[in-house]
Amino acid sequence: MRISFDAKILIWASLDRADTGRFSLSLIEEMNWVPVISTIAVPEYLTGVEDTKHAEAQKILEQQFEICPFDLAASGVAAQLFGPVKAIARQSGVSRVDMKAVLMIVATAKIRRARRFYSHDNNALKYARLAGMEAHQLNKRGNTLTTEFADPE
């Protein structure tokens, strides 16, 4: 199954295995899911990496995730969702810039056939539901990424 998540989850996952440079998403690894990451989420992750190590970090990302661009097909999904997403963002006081970034991440996940979207952000979860994906809260507790969701399959 294909899943996706936002930049914050990517950052948390990298912090859990900083000593190895590998990502720690045991739930994904155990379930043998395919994690899809939008290129829109990558810059926020890279801000925490020394400039001299960007190439190495990008190589690790490519080895462990399917990295997908925000392309013309994803822009069509984003356009369809824009009105309802804008209303949600306005109600919750989210800036237009933040709303657009998360919308592009969600649209990329949708066009790449992700069935589930994980985030700590309630608005991102609402956007994912609007896109037709299952949306699940994922939180950081200590050094462990946790979710109340357990896959019944």
Domains, in order of start, for the chain: 2-146 (3.40.50.1010)
Helix ranges, the chain (H): 7-16, 26-31, 42-46, 54-64, 72-92, 96-111, 122-130
pLDDT at 145 over 50: no
Q: What is the dihedral of CA 23, 35, 81, 84, to 10 degrees?
A: -50
pLDDT at 22 over 70: no
- Look at phi and psi of residue 29 and say left if phi exceeds 0, alpha if psi is from -120 to 50, else beta: alpha
pLDDT at 147 over 50: no
| CA angle 74–59–43, rounded 5-degree value | 50
Residues in the chain: 153
**Mean predicted lDDT score pLDDT of the chain:** 83
State the residue for tokens 């392309």: 71
> 74 near 108, Cβ under 8 Å?
yes
pLDDT at 18 over 70: no
- For 61-108, write each residue's pLDDT tens digit: 888 889 999 999 999 999 999 999 999 999 999 999 999 999 999 999
Please tell me whether the overall predicted TM-score, pTM, comes out greater than 0.75 for this model: yes
- Name, in order, each residue with C-beta under 8 angstroms of 75's C-beta and a sequence gap of 6 or more: 107
Instruction: State the helix-helix crossing angle for 96-111 and 122-130, rounded to 10 degrees.
Output: 50
